[in-house]
Structure 1
Amino acid sequence: MRSEQEEPEAGAVEPPEQLALIRETVRTANVPRAKPRTWRGAALAKELPVARIVVNKGVLHLDQFFDYAVPEELDEAAQPGVRVRVRFGAGAHQVRGGRREGGRLIDGFLVERRAESDYAGPLAALADVVSPEPVLSPELLGLARAVADRYAGSLADVLQLAVPPRSTRAERRPSPEPLPPPPAPEAGSWSRYEQGEAFLAALAQGASPRAVWNALPGPHWADELARTITATLASGRGALVVVPDGRAAARVDAALTAALGEGRHALLTAEAGPERRYAQWLAVRRGAVRAVVGTRAAMFAPVKDLGLVAIWDDGDGSHSEQHAPLPHAREVLLLRAAHEGCGFLLGATGCTVEAAQLVQTGWARPLLAPRQEVRAAAPLVRTVGDNELARDEAARAARLPTLAWQAVREGLKTGPVLVQVPRRGYVPRLACELCRTPARCRHCSGPLEAPGGQDLLRCGWCGRGAPDWHCLTCGAPRLRAQVVGARRTAEELGRAFPAVPVRTSGRDHILDTVPARPALVVSTPGAEPVAEGAGYAAALLLDGWAMLGRPDLRAGEEALRRWIDAAALVRGQDDGGMVVVVAEPTLRPVQALVRWDPVGHAQRELAERAELGFPPVSRMASVTGRAEAVAAFLTAAELPGDAEVLGPVPLPPRPPGAPRRTGDPPPGEEWERALLRVPPGSGAALAAALKAAQAGRLARGGDDPVRVRVDPPDIG
């Protein structure tokens, strides 16, 4: 068990002692071994006749290696790292009369060849070698084992995320010849940062610096990432950059192509398709390409001689994997940096609490620009609070305050104007016109909606109509939009500025770019297109209270991140750029936006969470399921002595028709959730205890589902 000093909780970075334990785990699995025996008349490989296999069966109580005999005809193809097929299940290792009985064929990976096994019975033989391509390297296996242990998951589940599905045509296609290292790049816009040039120089000289980079607003971040990759390649090493979505990947891809030319990097995104993606992945594994840019799944890319791992905008929810064991890309890259001894770069225009903790603990150094550079690059930010809205006739009539109208009019004289709305659609939520009490269904208390702008009200949960609705608080019969969606806002702005084109960008249709011509661009958070040329002339950030009022520990941090990401697309104030945010100006996230100080906001959030014992200062896990199943699980789990159990509490029912998220209960079922909290130094012990309890429950044939998640993103 680790001591308190041995586990830096900021990124669960493994100390040397733990890395040695991980490597030892890879070499020696927790399985019984014996001298290999096989059925009568079978010809086995003359050397190293035992193959150690990890099967693609993500069940915790089977999270171990299994020994199989290597037939002579598969001796040459059965090399460590290849995909194989084996008999697995009841009777798979039983041999009667020279014939195998029981078990079914499943896929797996060959981990190593051995001279003997301590398994007491006869060994079943490998059924087949699926492909001679060694896709599982010892480094990737060690990383997968570390990720599985950190997130209380199985090795097989992590390997499903780490190794893409096979494509025969892609394997037959030869990879290009590796190119010589490029020259070290010029500092370029990195010279705007106090330690920017030194960071690039260290990478080019073969060092492994670790930094948290608070990027200046504007379009230069993709080029700056490309320069860090180029500097790493110049040292003869490889580089990996993980971005939140395909649009960000396309920007870095274009910047790298401009800096290096074609063929020097791989782009790993879902848009490429399975075959092309696997061909790119193989080129990386074979060493033909040493630079990778990709989305979440690229965090496991097998880059040769890895010199740098980088992640852009780690607060984006897209970095959190939705398949078991639900790892976060930031934590996986932190493990890689520790495991492979490479450099690390975490960059964003904002700053998460986890990033602030990496700097506070001294694990990483800050990469910041001087205040004069920040003031020159950031737009002017103005606020409109509740008092101003109450006195503003324009806001009461059309929800947009006078200051916002003025900013739109002035901005449209020189370029496009961005309008960020925290909801999509028409009118997602309605409230009483007088007292603003949310309008709810009398039958199920669900929210009332007016879909498509129709006058007919209906409940968003049960679907019942509400033709004679009146407010139960004040009796008023009229409704207003509590949060007006993107389409409704676009209609309002279109009527106010009839000669100006209005474009919308949201989940159903996301724009990548918009021309530099005057236009109104209405977007939901995270879907803002990039304005060509100098950027947006102005931006409106509407309904700020809707994002700040979410019952979530990260509400303020997330609201500030969304605002700063949108405001970073606006021209600097020296060029006339202005941002108007409709939110109470005294709130901490609003003040951080006005001062353009996301780092200070994250540092204060971190200090408060340290006082309250909230993540990332502490480690947390959630256990959800039926009340009886959760209670039995917590009773059986041998939790660390310093673990604190919070709850269980009932989970709110999922509305009918709502999209199901990871961890949500099935429709109609009542589930409970318990939170487990441990102080720094006990995170690994908590994960091990939860994994053991879940494995024991599954081995006993537990029917009631119990879902365990380490580091749940939402504990509000």
Structure 2
Amino acid sequence: MAETTGSALPIARVLPMLALAHLDREFDYLVPAELDEQAQPGVRVRVRFAGRLVDGFVLDRIAVSEHPGKLGTLDKVVSPERVLTPDIAALVAAVAARYAGTRSDVLRLAIPPRHARVEGEPAPEQPVVTDPVVNSGAWAAYDHGTEFLAAVRDGRGPRAVWQARPGEIWAERLAELAAVTAATGRTSLVIVPDQRDLDRVAATCVALVGKEPVVALAAGLGPAARYRRWLAVLRGSARIVIGTRSAVFAPLADLGLVAVWDDGDDSHSEPRAPYPHAREVALLRAHGSGCAAVVGGVARTAEAQALADSGWAHDLVATRDVVRASAPKITALADSDHALARDPGARAARLPGIAFAAARAALGAGHGVLVQVPRRGYVPSLACGKCRTPARCRRCHGPLALPAAVGPDGSGTPTCKWCGIADSMFRCPTCGSRALRAVVVGAGRTAEELGRAFAGVTVRMSGGASVLDEVPAGPSLVVATVGAEPVMPGGYGAALLLDGWALLGRADLRATEETLRRWMNASTLVKPHGEGGEVVVVADSSLPTVQGLVRWDPVGRARAELAERAEVLLPPAVHLAAIDGSSEALAQLLEQAELPESAEVLGPVDLPGGESMPGADTGPVERMLVRVPRASGGALARALAESRALLGAKKSTAALRVQIDPVRIG
């Protein structure tokens, strides 16, 4: 046996990187004398566990172990680099508790794989950030915007839900906040949805403070480049970090600001266990460190509105006169068979007459036209055959769908995809109709038809594997799927938002919220009304979501959305756990779990179509929902984590997936 150290702290408390829930705890190991200096808290080690070598992290060094038996010995210190800082270790534990996961799963998201050659490179010098030039007039456009900027500059840790005005150069505002924070000697963290946004914010930050203090972190970087930049953050040579969702765990010391842009984007939701959302991780981090926090966007989610309503964050909203001056003219119309029948131009070009006229006027003035179409692959759902309101279950407000086995004429009893209850007596709560219709998406035809309708005009496509970041100014038609709209210098002259029902009619909890976000993100690329900018949305103007766009009132719609969620007991008004597995596995979990008394169990039902569960057996996979009041969210997560640990300790091999407050429920 190797000789142990004579140090006053001869024992290392290690967290092994094990996937089993019942092994998510620290284990004590003796530190050999030759590893005493290197085996410090935060380093990577290898230890022998159950007869095999596994990776782990040293969490602490202690003098005496509470373990009554014989202790094993550290096998190896992989690297003396202390990659797991105390702040990140605390954040990892908080995220695991919030999402009923294990710390090892969160650590795999938080710390990138080691690259030995990069680790041996010398660390760059720590840069000095001078006080940047800030556009104070831009911040003055928001109520209390100037005071918020001053609070950030003074290091007072303000928290805000920022509603960017139409046409706002939001990357510049985020860069200013980050630069102001860095000038105080503290660090800044900005989380954006994708690489396009990351490049935009990073370039703006570099223009403000120079290249040295700015580090961009993204999953698309190669292993060496990613680890080099991550080490620069760890070693203190980065003052501003911009990244996608995994960068929310960046090991910044003395954090002064954390900002999340466009928190409603699906890209912020981690697809790997324990499925954390970057916004929630950022809020946990801001709460733990006491730093400034900003959740911003052109539109607003119900979760962001809940932060403002609770008082945890303040509203940062432009005044109505600024909004009116910045927003384009927005016109809505009915996308119905009757409207198309009355409009011969719409039949020829698949555009209602008013949309056709807006496009022709913009092109005639030498401006570009953005045409937004739904992306391919939205799952068909049911809606009212008369008014097209999405069909919802009367018991749990889940989406109704036809079962897989239907009659020869295509008929069948609508069944809830959440609780599994059939509703043969469905009646639309909006108009009272009993008729149902499938909401489907047509795609791939718009660019071709526009090319015929506007002969001689350049038509560009953006979407799928070919997403354009920017297009040149001038008269052209840009057809983009939602989320892939490129920027045009100076703004588009018009935007046509087509097939509104394809977005609004999806069987999704967040369908209306997501639709408004997509519409507003596209509309903010259009010139203001005073400069001739116009947006035409092909959807019924009487719908609340459409009215929210016409009035440019994302805050009002978010507040209404939050109230509707509270009425039907859906997140964020409650906490909801989606649990997937075989019927036997779900029954075992429920038997072991000590759920809060307020817990309500829905289902189980078949896993929603289009979803899969890695690691599941070949048998059918079901989904069960458990919801509790917000006050019981922590108790629910603990109960589910403890139940999984008990099943693991009993050698259960049943695959289970637990998601707390998932973005997509069914």
Q: Deviations over 1:118-169 (max 9, x none)?
A: 2122211111111111000111100100000010000111111111111112
1:580 is displaced (CA, Å) by 0.6
Q: Does 1:59 align with 2:2?
A: no
Amino acid at match of 2:18: K
Which of 57, 68, 81 matches 1:133?
81
1: CA distance, partners of 2:148 / 2:213: 22
The letter for the 2-side match of 1:134 is R
Which residue identity does 1:591 align to in structure 2?
Q
- 1:535: Cα distance to partner? 1.1
Change in CA separation of 1:666 and 1:422 when aligned onto 2, cut-off 3 Å: farther
RMSD: 2.6
Counterpart Cα distance in 2 of 1:137 and 1:401: 58
Instruction: Quote the Cα distance in structure 2 between the aligned partners of 1:622 and 1:507.
Output: 29
Matches within 5 A, 1:416-495: 416-424=368-376, 483-485=441-443, 487-495=444-452
Displacement of 1:680 after TM fit? 2.2
Instruction: Specify the SS of the correspondent of 1:351.
Output: coil
Cα distance in 1 for partners of 2:137, 2:468 equals 29
- TM-fit CA distance, 1:264: 1.2
Give, in whole Å, the separation in 1 of the partners of 2:535 and 2:155.
42
| Alpha-carbon distance, 1:219 to partner | 4.8
> How far did 1:318 drift?
0.3
Correspondence list, 1:241-252, <5 A: 241-252=190-201
Q: Which residue of 2 aligns with 1:409?
A: 360
Per the TM alignment, residue 410 of structure 1 is displaced from its structure 2 partner at its CA by 1.1
Q: Is the 8 A contact 2:129 2:213 kept in 1?
A: no
CA distance, structure 2, for counterparts of residue 162 and residue 596 of structure 1: 38
Identical-residue share of aligned pairs (%): 52
Tell me which residue corresponds to 1:510: 467
Deviation, 1:325, is 0.5
Deviations 1:569-623 (A, max 9, x none): 1111111111110111111110000000011000011112222222101111011
Instruction: Give the Å deviation of 1:629.
Output: 2.0
Provide structure 1 residue ranges, at least 5 long, that are not aligned to the other structure: 1-38, 90-102, 447-479, 655-659
2:561 to 605, 617, 627: 605
Asked if the contact 1:665–1:671 (Cα under 8 Å) also holds between the matched residues in 2, the reply is no
Q: Which amino acid aligns with 2:441?
A: V
SS at match of 2:72: coil
* 1:11-58 Cα shifts (integer Å, max 9, x gaps): xxxxxxxxxxxxxxxxxxxxxxxxxxxx5x734343311011111112
Structure 2, unaligned runs of 5 or more:
389-401, 408-437
1:364-375 to 2 correspondences below 5 Å: 364-375=313-324
Counterpart AA for 1:584:
D
Match of 1:109 among 36, 57, 62: 57
The alignment of Structure 1 onto Structure 2 pairs a total of residues equal to 618
CA distance in 2, matches of 1:648, 1:444: 18
3-state SS of 2:467 partner: coil
Quick check: 1:698 aligned with 2:648?
yes
Alignment of 1:47 with 2:11, yes or no, is no
Match of 1:192 among 135, 138, 141: 141
Q: Does 1:282 align with 2:231?
A: yes
- Please list the CA deviations of residues 399-430 of structure 1 after superposition, one character each: whole Å capped at 9, or x if unmatched: 221111111111112221111110249x9999
SS of structure 1 residue aligned to 2:518: helix
Shift of the 604–223 alpha-carbon distance from structure 1 to 2, 3 Å rule, reads: same
1:324–1:567 distance in 2 versus 1, CA, 3 Å: same
Residues 412-462 of structure 1: per-residue CA shift (max 9 Å, x gap): 12221111110249x99999xxx9x9xxx9x9889xxxxxxxxxxxxxxxx
- TM-score normalised to the size of structure 1? 0.83
Which whole-Å deviations, capped at 9, do the CAs of 1:193-233 have from their partners, x for residues lacking one?
A: 12111111111111100000000122510000001011111
Residues 310 and 345, structure 1, Cα contact 8 Å, conserved in 2: yes
Q: Distance in 2 between matches of 1:354 and 1:279?
A: 35
1:667 positional shift: 9.3
Q: 1:497 aligns with which of 454, 461, 476?
A: 454
Q: TM-score, normalised by structure 2?
A: 0.89
Instruction: Give the alignment partner of residue 69 of structure 1, picking from 21, 25, 30.
Output: 30
- 1:628 deviates by 2.4
Kept after mapping to 1: 8 A contact 2:46/2:76: yes
Matched with 1:616 is 572
User: What is the Cα deviation at residue 397 of structure 1?
Assistant: 4.1
Q: Provide closer, same or farther for how the CA distance between residues 503 and 481 of structure 1 changes in structure 2, counting only shifts above 3 A.
A: farther
Most deviating of 391-400 and 161-170: 391-400
CA contact (8 A) 1:219 1:569 kept: no
Alpha-carbon distance in structure 2 between the residues aligned to 1:250 and 1:481: 36
Cα distance, 1:280 vs structure 2: 1.1
Separation in 1 of the partners of 2:570 and 2:529? 37
Residues 254-333 of structure 1: pairs in structure 2 closer than 5 A: 254-333=203-282
CA distance in 2, matches of 1:290, 1:686: 38
CA contact (8 A) 1:428 1:484 kept: no
1:573 match: 529
- Residue of structure 1 aligned with 2:172, choices 223, 227, 233: 223
Q: 1: CA distance between counterparts of 2:615 and 2:527? A: 45
- Opposite residue 660 of structure 2, the aligned amino acid is V
Task: Name the residue aligned to 2:421.
Answer: none
1:671 aligns with 2:621: yes
What residue in structure 2 maps to residue 647 of structure 1? 603
Tell me the alpha carbon deviations over residues 334-356 of structure 1, each in whole angstroms, 9 at most, x when there is no partner: 10111111111010000000111
Letter in 1 for 2:632: S
What CA distance in whole angstroms lies between the structure 2 residues aligned with 1:668 and 1:58?
A: 21
Q: Helix, strand or coil: the match of 2:604?
A: strand
Secondary structure at the residue paired with 1:263? coil
Over 3 Å counting, the alpha-carbon distance change for 1:674 and 1:481 in structure 2 is: closer
Give secondary structure in 1 for the equivalent of 2:447.
helix
> Which secondary structure does the structure 2 equivalent of 1:608 belong to?
helix
Verify the 8 A CA contact 2:439 2:506 in the aligned structure 1: no
Query: Separation in 1 of the partners of 2:381 and 2:279?
Result: 38
1:392 aligned onto 2:343: yes
